[in-house]
Amino acid sequence: MAQAAGAPAADQDADRETVRTVYDGARGRMFQAKAEDALASPTLARWLGKIQLVFTSPPFPLQRKKKYGNLCGDEYTAWLAGFAPKLKEFLTPDGSIVIELGNGWNANEPTVSTAAIKALIAFQEAAGLYLCQEFICFNPARLPTPIEWVAVRRTRVKDAFTRVWWMSPTPHPKADNRRVLTEYSASMQRLLKKGTYTGGRRPSEHTIGERSFLSDNGGAIPPNVLIPPGSEAAALDAVLPIPNTVSGDKYHRACRDNGLARHPALMPEALVEFFVRFLTEEGDVVLDPFAGSNTTGAVAERLGRKWVAVEANAAYADTSRVRFDPPHPTPAGPKRRGPKA
């Protein structure tokens, strides 16, 4: 791996101790390190200004500690905001940062914590980023949590969505919704087949032309609420399936069969794929500084994008290789240069 120009030998040695190459993919590399160490290291310096998309889901600001680590309240807000300026340095001029954060509840009471919202705002402001759009990722199959207030006392309904913020240093980042069109609804397909539409002025005061909805553009533009079809909310004309209940996929099977450590908070592949397709093109580079089981890298490689992944937990980083076919081996011998950016 190329070192930053002029970096002292002692600094290079220290960097090798804190940033370890776990495996090389066909289009990317998995590193094991704390995100803050990796982003400040000479090892990742070669990707400064070359990342088209940072897609990540950092540990959520939960009240109950998880194995993968999480902070709470103001401490969490300051921690997450601290990454913003550095991640901005890695972006291309028209690059994007997409962060998924779940909701949290205040300890010992049925009230929602605003920590996640505050953290997202602090992150945006710390790097002077534009909020291009907010998405809601709805998963109706989530467990009825928080259990005490939803399933025992029954004074709340279950929390079933996460916020996804799309940010960029420019108000006009690279994006094309034609790459994420969904199948037309049955009613839209009938309309296109019929070839006629009743236009005119609507109660909303919008005027609809007689042929406004008669063009077949190859699919429907998805909404910013990402919902699995077949759910109660599937009345939307176009939805993107984002279930996260898979337990029999290749990753889970390989972990079970080989007694490997499984990450407890997996990223839905469909969510990663949506933003990789929407905000990047083949050959672009995608970075995930909180890679977990490396869903981001696996999806990016499958879609012909280059990728860089960082995970602090050595077991999770190592196990993530099973997402690839065949599983990527550990580099042998001297450190090799990573895939060209």
Nearest residue to 318 via CA among 268, 263, 256, 250:
263
Per-residue pLDDT tens over the stretch 317-339: 999 998 887 777 776 554 445 55
Is residue 253 predicted with pLDDT exceeding 70?
no
Nearest residue to 95 via CA among 176, 179, 173, 165:
173
H-run or E-run covering 52: strand 51-56
User: Who contacts 39 (Cβ-Cβ below 8 Å, separation ≥6)?
Assistant: 83, 86, 87, 90, 289, 310
**H and E: helices and strands count for the chain:** 11, 13
Domains in the chain and their CATH numbers?
Answer: 9-181+222-323 (3.40.50.150), 184-218 (no CATH)
Per-residue pLDDT tens over the stretch 71-80: 667 888 999 9
pTM given for the model: 0.79
**Distance separating alpha carbons of residues 146 and 107, to the nearest angstrom:** 11
Can you give the length of the chain in residues? 341
Is residue 217 predicted with pLDDT exceeding 50?
yes
